[in-house]
Amino acid sequence: MTRHAKHIFKLDPAKDIDDSSLGQIVKSGTDLILVSGTDNVTEENVSKLLRRIRKFDVSAALEISHPDAAVPGFNHYFIPTVINTDNVTFSHGMLVEALMEYHDFIDYDSVSLLPYIIMNQDCKAFKHAQCHAVEDEEFIAMIHMLDKLYKMDYIYIEYSGMFGDRGLVAEAYEAAEHASIVYGGGIVSEDTARRMDSVSDIMVVGNIIYDDVEQALETII
């Protein structure tokens, strides 16, 4: 049996998607629907999207970009943290603040940290989180640190909006002994999906959903 990376469709609660497209995405056979956005994410639009997803039988997780938009009822929650930031606010400052307010309500068994290495210098998150560009050698050292010292469950290699350096992603995949390598960026077709399938544990497909649903469905291989 050929090994396949797990597949995630990422839905942005601030973006519109019609019922028919949503149905196709949710019933596509993807392993997980991840609700996650950056701008204009509110409790209201997250709740609304969750209700629409819940009409189907699929696992749904929420990536909590801001604690005010945390909504109960998801199967799992991911808390992002940025590794190549130059500002501690984005590594754990915001997280500590959120825990000060919300610790009592958190079921930690359903929460995972999601450490990001943001590789695309032109993407919004890179600038927002005050990241620095990561050289190849530094990148692999970060993978070892997260995998072998922090023993993280996941490491998210984020090329958001562009197709990544497959050779480098493959190096990370080889280097990680414990953590699952999550890859995101530029998976927009069967071909791009196949190219990252063998060098990651989990592939995240997002933007193409809003550009071309049929194309998005082809990423499930």
Gap between the Cα atoms of 139 and 169, Å rounded: 10
In what helix (H) or strand (E) does residue 9 lie, and over which residues does it extend?
strand 6-11
Supply the minimum distance, in Å, between the C-beta of residue 159 and a second copy.
20
Verify binding: residue 58, a second copy, rule CB under 8 A. no
In what helix (H) or strand (E) does residue 79 lie, and over which residues does it extend?
strand 76-82
Gap between the Cα atoms of 6 and 14, Å rounded: 25
8 A C-beta contact, residue 49 and residue 13: yes
Verify binding: residue 79, a second copy, rule CB under 8 A. yes
How many residues form the binding site for a second copy (CB under 8 A)? 28
Verify binding: residue 149, a second copy, rule CB under 8 A. yes
Residue 169's DSSP bridge partners are none
Return the residue of 65, 85, 120, 160 that touches a second copy, per CB under 8 A: 85
Verify binding: residue 113, a second copy, rule CB under 8 A. yes
Q: Where are the alpha helices (DSSP H) in 90-212?
A: 94-102, 124-128, 136-144, 166-175, 190-197, 208-211
The dihedral sign for the CA sequence 173, 201, 125, 100: negative
Supply the minimum distance, in Å, between the C-beta of residue 125 and a second copy.
17
Residue 183's DSSP bridge partners are 157, 203
Supply the minimum distance, in Å, between the C-beta of residue 194 and a second copy.
31
Closest to a second copy by CB, 51 or 151: 151
Verify binding: residue 3, a second copy, rule CB under 8 A. no
Kindly state the tokens that stand for 71. 């909504």
Verify binding: residue 32, a second copy, rule CB under 8 A. no
Verify binding: residue 221, a second copy, rule CB under 8 A. no
Kindly state the tokens that stand for 64. 């909590």
Kindly state the tokens that stand for 94. 């915001």
Listed ranges 54-62, 63-71, 78-86, 163-171: which one lies at the site for a second copy (CB under 8 A) = 78-86
Gap between the Cα atoms of 81 and 95, Å rounded: 8
Q: Which residues from 35-54 bind a second copy, rule CB under 8 A?
A: none
Closest to a second copy by CB, 57 or 109: 109
Verify binding: residue 99, a second copy, rule CB under 8 A. yes
Listed ranges 22-30, 32-40, 100-108, 162-170: which one lies at the site for a second copy (CB under 8 A) = 100-108
Interface with a second copy (CB under 8 A): 79, 83, 85-88, 91-92, 95-97, 99-100, 103, 108, 111, 113, 137-138, 140-142, 144-145, 148-151
